[in-house]
């Protein structure tokens, strides 16, 4: 695609950019934008995440080092790139701003790019950095979310870009062999330390402060700034966890959010702040394709414990609770550690009961103690990992979390199956179509009447 006429400067994004060795952002941005242009499936997947469909008749152009006509902004303050998608007579355009390594996005800078986009009728701004966003529409900078500007700002983390490329390759979704090679080289480039791309690896200093407060018997204030910072960091980590599991399972793992939280990060933060202040807990739920149920994660500050588990509905075709427990136990294929527990949920106001998994394996009948005549409704099978002092440490907490979540899914979660009601069977006295014809039904009704007499 030729350079748009509203630019006085702009190079087509290059796979091999000729830039100074200090220009990491420019180099990485150019390579990623060039791959979006050259690898059809990669560009379509990324743009699809922000609602732009790339059809067979679409043409994409990507540019770096752009300068608009009659631009009055500071020469040192320019977007890193431009994406142009043409489909028929329609043209969609996005400014790109990227940060590498520990460089942070600046809300003021993003707002200036919004103004630039409005001036030149650009549709949106896309930011890339090592910050994580639950979905591209929920920007990690709160100031950007609260802005009154009508120009939307989307966000991709570099790890999201890397994960997207990896899934396309592992899933065999890139048809052209040469494009497969390009995308594989992009993965190799992004995973090299020189690219400046990294996952979330530590909680903020406020994490330790919050732990000290709770350990001393204090309550987290409802408007605690420290709690807000910790909650933002937790969102960064849970998104990184979903990308880690995506790469491990070679499927797309996403955070499962209530509908009211999907497009409203403020509402999500308010509800999760209530949980943090009221129960001293951080919680997340990951949706893994075709898994028996969502993966539930709870970090309990008071107990200094990480709980990871899944909830399964008990099989309704089995009458006794013992039989229902045996159905669950048959799905556990690895030797259980003393960290694994089962919580049983009962009907009505009957309180839940809980047992170490090993105890249930040795005697499934203990589940019916003091629950005579009741049938268990569901099971929560989980690991409770007590971390002690490691829980309060910024780096070790993340290391332990990123170890125990994949461990639980590998050893337990991926082997679980949800119960489904069995398919209906043809009844013995209705084997053939004539048995249920009007004549057959009439004969059956007559026989029934004689039996009643």
Task: Classify residue 439 as exposed, middle or buried by CB count within 10 Å of its CB (0-12, 13-18, 19+).
Answer: exposed
- Whole-model pTM: value is 0.87
Q: What is the pLDDT of residues 219-232, one digit of tens each?
A: 999 999 999 999 99
The conformation of residue 97, written as its DSSP 8-state character, comes to E
Q: What is the pLDDT of residues 311-329, one digit of tens each?
A: 999 999 999 999 999 999 9
Mean pLDDT of the residues in the chain: 91
3-state secondary structure of 343: strand
Q: What is the pLDDT of residues 154-164, one digit of tens each?
A: 999 999 999 99
Answer yes or no: are the C-beta atoms of 51 and 205 closer than 8 Å.
no
What counts of helices (H) and strands (E) characterise the chain?
14, 13
Mean pLDDT of 133-147: 91
Interior angle at CA 240, CA 237 and CA 241, nearest 5: 85
| Res. 303: pLDDT tops 90 | yes
Q: What is the pLDDT of residues 86-122, one digit of tens each?
A: 998 899 999 999 999 889 999 999 999 999 999 999 9
Binning pLDDT at 50, 70 and 90, where does residue 448 land?
low
| Res. 145: pLDDT tops 60 | yes
Distance in angstroms (rounded) separating the CA atoms of residues 406 and 411: 8
Q: How many CB atoms are closer than 10 A to CB 6?
A: 16
């Amino acid at each position: 695609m030729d350079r748009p006429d509203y630019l006085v400067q702009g190079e087509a994004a290059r796979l091999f950019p000729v830039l100074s060795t200090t220009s990491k952002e420019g180099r990485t941005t150019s390579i990623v934008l060039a791959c979006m242009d050259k690898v059809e499936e990669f560009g379509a997947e990324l743009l699809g995440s922000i609602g732009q469909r790339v059809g067979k008749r679409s043409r994409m152009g990507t540019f770096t080092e752009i300068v608009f006509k009659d631009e009055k902004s500071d020469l040192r303050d320019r977007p890193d790139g431009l994406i142009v998608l043409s489909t028929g007579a329609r043209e969609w355009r996005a400014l790109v701003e990227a940060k590498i390594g520990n460089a942070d996005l600046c809300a003021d800078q993003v707002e200036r790019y919004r103004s630039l986009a409005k001036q030149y009728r650009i549709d949106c701004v896309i930011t890339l950095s090592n910050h994580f966003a639950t979905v591209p529409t929920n920007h990690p900078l709160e100031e950007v979310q609260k802005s009154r500007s009508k120009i939307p700002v989307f966000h991709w983390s570099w790890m999201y870009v890397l994960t997207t490329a990896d899934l396309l390759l592992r899933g065999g979704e890139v048809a052209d062999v040469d494009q497969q090679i390009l995308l594989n080289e992009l993965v190799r480039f992004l995973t090299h330390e020189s690219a400046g791309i990294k996952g979330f690896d530590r909680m903020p200093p406020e994490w330790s402060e919050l732990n000290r407060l709770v350990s001393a018997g204090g309550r987290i204030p409802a408007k605690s700034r420290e709690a807000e910072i910790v909650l933002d960091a937790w969102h960064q980590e849970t998104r990184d966890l979903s990308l880690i599991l995506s790469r491990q399972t070679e499927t797309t793992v996403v955070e499962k959010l209530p509908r009211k939280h999907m497009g409203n990060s403020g509402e999500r933060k308010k509800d999760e702040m209530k949980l943090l202040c009221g129960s001293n807990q951080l919680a997340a739920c990951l949706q893994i394709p075709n898994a028996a149920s969502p993966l539930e994660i709870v970090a309990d500050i008071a107990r200094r414990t990480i709980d990871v588990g899944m909830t399964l509905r008990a099989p309704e075709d089995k009458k006794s609770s013992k039989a229902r427990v045996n159905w669950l136990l048959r799905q556990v294929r690895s030797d259980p550690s003393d960290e694994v527990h089962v919580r049983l949920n009962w009907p009505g106001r009957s309180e839940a009961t809980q047992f170490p998994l090993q105890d249930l394996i040795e005697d499934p009948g203990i589940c019916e103690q003091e629950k005579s005549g009741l049938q268990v409704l569901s099971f929560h099978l989980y690991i409770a990992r007590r971390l002690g002092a490691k829980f309060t440490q910024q780096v070790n907490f993340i290391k332990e979390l990123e170890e125990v979540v994949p461990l639980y899914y590998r050893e337990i979660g991926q082997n679980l199956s949800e119960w489904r009601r069995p398919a209906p069977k043809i009844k013995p006295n209705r084997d053939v179509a004539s048995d249920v014809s009007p004549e057959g039904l009439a004969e059956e009704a007559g026989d029934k009447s004689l039996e009643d007499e």
